[in-house]
Amino acid sequence: MRGARPSPTTPAARPAAPPRPPADLRRAARHHAAVPPPPPFRTGLVEALGAPALAMGATFLAFGAAVAEAGLSPAWALLSTGAVYGMAGQLVLLQAAGLPGAAALPAVVAATAANARFLPMSVAIAPLLGPRRPLWRRLAALPFIAITPWAAAMRRLPGLEESARLPWFLGFALASWCVAMAATAAGHLAAPALPAPLRAALLFANPLYFALLLAADLGRPGVRGAVIGGALAAPLALWLGPAWGLLAAGLVGGTGAFWLGRRTGRRA
């Protein structure tokens, strides 16, 4: 890397320094000076296969088993994971589908309300996916906007060059999606071998993962307010029930944090 640094004594003798790659790619390049840094798609894919894969895999394994217990087919389970791809809504839908004589429309409204976070999440991530890209390229990310890839991307994308962001997200998201699908299928198949206590413990992996991520966010001033606001507004969900409660808590806690942040920001 030293050779690329411009020298004050011979400014014209050296070519202009190339744009610096992101920190993780630079680290990898130092280890294997002759090997070019991995493409961002692969970096994202590999990053998804650690803690995020454990969190998603455990949750979707439990979901697959729950679908089998409700007497619904593996195809229903896979379509739910692959295309709804939002666990809160999937669980609401599963509960409603299991009720005898359940009407479809109330179940759809409740499941969509439980997953209504997709709207603000997509609004927030859209500028990070490259506003200068053609719309159809950004739409490639559409089916994969779910809480795990979103939470990782909101941390990771600002540090990447703009051209690397969409490929990184697609790598991370595709790996997460494949893990979710494989875990759902395995859960449906292995339902008899997964007793209820084990499935309950597996379900805990997801909130634990996000609890650790959010605990780290408490150190980031721009995000801290929303983390605290959401936690304080959480009791609203107990009052309103699982379908609308989460949406209401997010709206109240997030909007409160947003306004407080703007007021203190103006004063500063």
CA atoms within 13 A on the CB side of 146: 24
Under rule CB under 8 A, residue 62 binds another protein: yes
Question: Which two structure tokens, joined as six digits, stand for 249?
Answer: 């808590």
Interaction residues for another protein, span 192-211 (CB under 8 A):
196-197, 199-201, 203-211
Around Cβ 175, how many Cβ atoms within 10 Å? 22
CA distance 50 to 48: 6
Report in angstroms how near the CB of residue 245 gets to another protein at its nearest: 8
Under rule CB under 8 A, residue 253 binds another protein: yes
Determine the interface stretch with another protein among 11-19, 25-33, 83-91, 164-172 (rule: CB under 8 A).
Answer: 83-91
Question: Which two structure tokens, joined as six digits, stand for 2?
Answer: 């030293």
Under rule CB under 8 A, residue 214 binds another protein: yes
Report in angstroms how near the CB of residue 14 gets to another protein at its nearest: 34
Asked if residues 188 and 77 have their Cβ atoms less than 8 Å apart, the reply is yes
Interaction residues for another protein, span 120-159 (CB under 8 A):
120-129, 131, 135, 138-139, 141-143, 145, 147, 150-151, 154
CA distance 164 to 26: 14
Determine the interface stretch with another protein among 24-32, 167-175, 183-191, 226-234 (rule: CB under 8 A).
Answer: 226-234
Q: Which among 91, 90, 77 is positioned nearest to 186, based on CA atoms?
A: 77
When the beta carbons of 186 and 232 are compared against another protein, the nearer one is: 232
Under rule CB under 8 A, residue 216 binds another protein: yes
Based on its alpha-carbon atoms, the radius of gyration of the chain, rounded to whole angstroms, reads 22
Question: Which two structure tokens, joined as six digits, stand for 217?
Answer: 């966010």
Around Cβ 101, how many Cβ atoms within 10 Å? 4
Under rule CB under 8 A, residue 91 binds another protein: yes
Determine the interface stretch with another protein among 24-32, 34-42, 174-182, 255-263 (rule: CB under 8 A).
Answer: 255-263
Report in angstroms how near the CB of residue 27 gets to another protein at its nearest: 16
Asked if residues 160 and 129 have their Cβ atoms less than 8 Å apart, the reply is no
Q: Which of 28, 29, 72, 186 binds another protein (CB under 8 A)?
A: 72
Under rule CB under 8 A, residue 88 binds another protein: yes
